[in-house]
Amino acid sequence: MNTRVAAIAELERRIGHVFADRDLLERALTHASVGDGAKAVRHNERLEFLGDRVLNLCAAERLMALDPDAREGEMSRLMAGLVNYHACSRAARACGLPDAMRFSASASKVGARDSDAVLGDACEALIAALYIDGGLETARAFFLQFWEEEFKRLDEPRAKDPKTQLQEWAQGRGLPLPAYELVAREGPDHAPTFTIAVAVEGFTPERGQGRSRQDAEKAAALHMLLKREGAEASSSHPSDTRL
């Protein structure tokens, strides 16, 4: 038994489901980089689309069951903490998905197998495959098993992300909202790197990079926050904080 065959067997053991449709499973485990876009290679991008909808349904069901009196706004806030590529990538690693996946040599070389964004998408594709092969109950069982820790995190105090912190800092000083601009998008389609610049009126723009545009925006905001905190710490005059 080769390494990948063993990894697929371990994946099925962890999720508690053996696929009847082996071609469907293989498609869910195949990254779009395989075949370099050749139409003959069936990869998991279409499954991601379905899996995202199934994941949202399972999360919404669970939230409503946990608190029948919760308001829509509160449930939407909690959904954001459950349905995102960070949570999906953690589930992907927990079920053994990275070792079972197929990547092109170039994608593997640039670290696609360890990318949260790539693994998050693959997890959604796996959820779709479970839904097709075993029905909603099978997909729901996967969600309840591998999102158990995510629900525990919902009760923990959450630090605001850098973009929110930067926005609040600017608003607190009567400044316009931070403006984000895409500076560059480099690398292959299956593993791009984004460079984003963020500008706050009166301050030198800062840049950040990430595997997704959202990550790059957060990195840029964090750089801006660190710069303005350092400036404010070294000056007792508000006007001296301008870089």
Write out the catalytic residue numbers: 52, 124
CB 33 within 8 A of CB 112: yes
Q: How far apart are CA 181 and CA 119, in angstroms?
A: 26
Q: How far apart are CA 88 and CA 123, in angstroms?
A: 6
Q: How far apart are CA 185 and CA 98, in angstroms?
A: 25
Pick from 98, 145, 144, 138: nearest CA to 18? 138
Q: How far apart are CA 191 and CA 198, in angstroms?
A: 23
Helix (H, G, I), strand (E, B) or coil at 2: coil
Q: Which two tokens stand for residue 17?
A: 């489901």
Q: Which two tokens stand for residue 102?
A: 């197929």
Helix (H, G, I), strand (E, B) or coil at 197: strand
For 206, the enclosing helix (H) or strand (E) is strand 206-210
| Angle ∠(219,213,152) on CA atoms, nearest 5 | 70
Longest dimension (CA), the chain: 69
CB 180 within 8 A of CB 196: yes
CB atoms within 10 A of CB 37: 11
